[in-house]
Amino acid sequence: MTARSRRALLASQTAPAQDAAAALRDRYEWVSIEEADLVVALGGDGFMLQTLHAMLDRRQPQLPVFGLNLGTVGFLMNEWRADGLEARLAHAKAVNVTPLCMEATTVDGEQHRIPAINEVSLLRETRQTAKLEVTLNGRIVLPELACDGVLCATPAGSTAYNLSAQGPILPLGSSMLALTPISPFRPRRWRGAIVPDKARIGIRVLNPEKRPVSAVADQREVREVAQVDIAIDRARDLTLLFDPEHALDDRITMEQFLS
């Protein structure tokens, strides 16, 4: 990136983000997103995911995004500072993130195709345990998984919901996906799997009328699904920008040493 890049500014609706946006508008020049070479996003991780999904929805090429944390955790963001933004953008490290594609078919036959940057998760909708059949590249690997749900996480998302569900942390360049059960009941000893990101994962809901299940791609939910297929979408790479001392790949690695 260069200091002369044409920048668009996006901010969440929270008061801290709006105040920060006002401060940046007074200090730097901005253009519309249609004219921009890159995006500066103000907010938390949730707003960053919204921004990246908006990039995926664009018919134009996706723009690199430099996030400034005005939220809580800010794992996908850089430290908020109003000073020195042009120099930070000029020296930013680019990190590529490849999303998943979730293809969900409901009990009524409706089909939904939704990207996911962090994870795709299947969750039981009622008090009834979910029962799922899991396939890998068309081969049945779990004939019946009784659980609260299961999720498939990218390396970028492996430190989010996946880690809370006791899933593994995946280095950003590992070319792997984490398949992690949520409160598994049977088979009781199955704690998940790490699979190549070339794999196609299929999850069929057993008896979906009695045991309804929803599927969530990041923040977008499809209810009463019958079948969900998950695969990497290599045609839609995203680019995040980080301060060199605060890059995402290093932060994911260091998460393994936190207590």
Q: Show binding-site residues for NAD(+).
A: 45-46, 118-119, 148, 156, 159-164
For 115-151, b/e burial (b = at least 16 CB within 10 A) is bbbbbbbbbbeeeebbbbbbbbeeeebbeebbbbbbb
Catalytic site residue 218? no
Hey, what are 4's tokens?
Answer: 């002369």
Hey, what are 255's tokens?
Answer: 């998460």
Catalytic one of 37, 45, 57, 237: 45
Separation between Cα atoms, residue 247 and residue 228, nearest integer Å: 33
The radius of gyration computed from the CA coordinates of the chain, to the nearest angstrom, equals 20
Separation between Cα atoms, residue 228 and residue 89, nearest integer Å: 39
Kindly give, in sequence order, each residue whose CB lies less than 8 Å from that of residue 17, ignoring residues fewer than 6 positions away.
Answer: 11, 42, 43, 47, 70, 71
In 12-161, at which residue ranges do the beta strands (DSSP E only) sit? 38-43, 65-69, 93-97, 100-106, 111-116, 119-124, 130-136, 139-147, 149-153
Binding residues are: 45-46, 118-119, 148, 156, 159-164
Beta bridge partners of 239: 96
Give the DSSP letter of residue 59: S
Hey, what are 191's tokens?
Answer: 């704690």
Asked if residue 155 lies in contact with residue 123, where contact means CB atoms within 8 angstroms, the answer is: no
Residues serving a catalytic function are: 45
